[in-house]
C-alpha cells in the first residue's frame, strides 16, 4: 500500500485508508481521499486535446478532419460545434453539427472554443 499519501499534518508514512478517508495513526489527522493529486486525475472528467475539462453546453472546435461514419462527409478542422453534450463511451461528445447533423465526437479531437 505504498500509494497512500503521507500525512499532510506530520508527514508520517503510516497513514491508512479507512474506507472513507485517510487517517494518520501517529497524530490522528484525518483527511479526504479526494484531496490533492487524486482530484487532479479525476478520470470521470472529459477533457479536450489541451487537457481542459469539458462540460455540457460547451462550444468546441474540431482540430482534425473527421470522417462521418456511414457517409462521405467530413467534419473539417476548425469546425465549430456548439452546445455539446457529454456521454459515456469511446466517443464521449454528443453534438449537432451544421450541415451534417447529429453525431458523436471524441474529446481528444476537439478543443474548447
Identify which range of 7-15, 38-46, 64-72, 87-95 contacts Zn ion by CB under 5 A: 7-15
Q: How far apart are the first and last CA of the chain?
A: 41
| Residue 27 engages Zn ion in binding (rule: CB under 5 A) | yes
Using an 8 Å Cβ cutoff, are 5 and 24 in contact?
no
| Residue 100 engages Zn ion in binding (rule: CB under 5 A) | no
Among 10, 77, 87, 113, binds Zn ion (CB under 5 A): 10
Among 5, 23, 29, 47, binds Zn ion (CB under 5 A): 29
Residues contacting Zn ion: total by CB under 5 A: 8
| Residue 7 engages Zn ion in binding (rule: CB under 5 A) | yes
Question: What CA–CA distance (Å, rounded) separates 109 from 49?
Answer: 6
Question: What CA–CA distance (Å, rounded) separates 92 from 86?
Answer: 6
Amino acid at each position: 500500500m505504498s500509494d497512500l499519501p503521507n500525512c499532510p499534518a506530520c508527514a508520517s508514512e503510516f497513514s491508512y485508508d479507512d474506507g472513507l478517508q485517510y487517517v494518520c495513526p501517529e497524530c490522528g489527522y484525518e483527511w479526504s481521499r479526494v484531496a490533492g493529486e487524486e482530484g487532479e486525475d479525476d478520470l470521470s472528467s472529459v477533457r479536450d486535446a489541451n487537457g481542459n475539462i469539458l462540460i455540457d453546453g460547451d462550444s468546441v472546435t474540431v482540430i482534425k478532419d473527421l470522417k462521418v461514419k456511414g457517409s462521405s462527409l467530413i467534419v473539417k478542422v476548425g469546425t465549430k460545434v456548439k452546445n455539446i453534450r457529454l456521454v459515456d463511451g469511446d466517443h464521449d461528445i454528443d453534438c449537432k453539427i451544421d450541415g451534417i447533423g447529429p453525431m458523436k465526437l471524441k474529446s481528444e479531437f476537439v478543443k474548447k472554443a
